[in-house]
Amino acid sequence: MYVCICNSIKDRDVRNSVAEGAQKVSHVFKKQGCKPECARCVNCIRDIIQEETAPEKFLIAAE
Ligand code: FES
């Protein structure tokens, strides 16, 4: 699923960036070799980073 239309970044790209050490939205853009343009995707990217770095929080919420 595309999370950033301006830069064609998919959720999989964000998860891969986190696996490679990205901890902030800016890190994801840097790893993808682009910069935010409209910034509408920032909250979505931030949510994916949180999901990847604290998955137990989302498991409890799903129960
Ligand atoms: S949707 Fe990501 S910068 Fe526009």
Q: Give residue-wise pLDDT tens across range 19-59.
A: 999 999 999 999 999 999 999 999 999 999 999 998 676 66
pLDDT of residue 12: 98
Ligand 1 atom closest to the CA of 6, numbered from 1: 4
pTM for the whole structure: 0.86
DSSP classification of residue 24: S
Q: Provide the total of helices (H) and of strands (E) in the chain, helices listed first.
A: 4, 2
CA distance 27 to 40: 16
Alpha carbon of 50 to ligand 1 centroid (Å): 19
Alpha carbon of 60 to ligand 1 centroid (Å): 30
- Domain 2-62 classified CATH 1.10.10.1100? yes
CA–chain centroid gap for 39, Å, is 12
- Residue listed under structure tokens 């939205």: 25
Q: Are 49 and 23 in contact (CB under 8 A)?
A: yes
Instruction: Give nearest CA residue, ligand 1 atom 1.
Output: 4
- The amino acid sitting at 26 is S
Domain ranges of the chain: 2-62
